Amino acid sequence: MKKQDICVREMTPADAHAVFDIDRICFSEVWSEQIFLDLFQYTSNHYYVAEQGHTLCGFAGISVAGDTADVMKIGVLPEYRRMGAAQQLLQMLLVKAKETGCEQVMLEVRESNAAARQLYRKNEFEELAVRKQYYTQPVENGIVMNRKLTDFSTVRQ
């Protein structure tokens, strides 16, 4: 599989079961399939899926409140990592955040998730704070990161 074989599109309710499966594989704190279906009830939620061929291999979403978009989750199946899916998903989130009038994007990431932190830094997120014992299963600190959207021309393609 090649990087260019992965495409990103808006998530639909029909994707909820596959996204739930990806969530279950990628995260220790799993959302229910119903939560993924409920996302469509709110216009403040914007979720996308990455697919290779007809196989969903990742997903990501933001929730918008005022001038801030919060990255809720970015998950990519292990066998599809290092192929650009997370970068493409993050790019789509940044574009949507800007389109909806957001001035910044916030997120929390596990302190031990070096790959995700590197991806976010590459995309001009800055580490702002540490939330002690933010995560459970296992208990771990969360790193709060922020990306200003004032100079949108620097969003990576």
The answer for residues whose C-beta is within 8 angstroms of residue 72's C-beta and 6 or more apart is 45, 61, 62, 63
Question: Could you give the C-alpha distances from 126 to 43, 79, 115, 121, 156, in angstroms and in order?
Answer: 27, 28, 15, 6, 15
Q: Where are the beta strands (DSSP E) in 82-139?
A: 104-110, 126-135
120 is catalytic: yes
Catalytic residue among 120, 127, 134, 135: 120
Torsion over CA of 112, 85, 118 and 45, rounded to 10 degrees?
A: -80
Catalytic residue among 108, 111, 126, 135: 108
108 is catalytic: yes
Query: In what helix (H) or strand (E) does residue 1 lie, and over which residues does it extend?
Result: none
- Cβ atoms of 100 and 67 within 8 Å: the answer is no
Residue positions annotated with a catalytic role = 108, 120
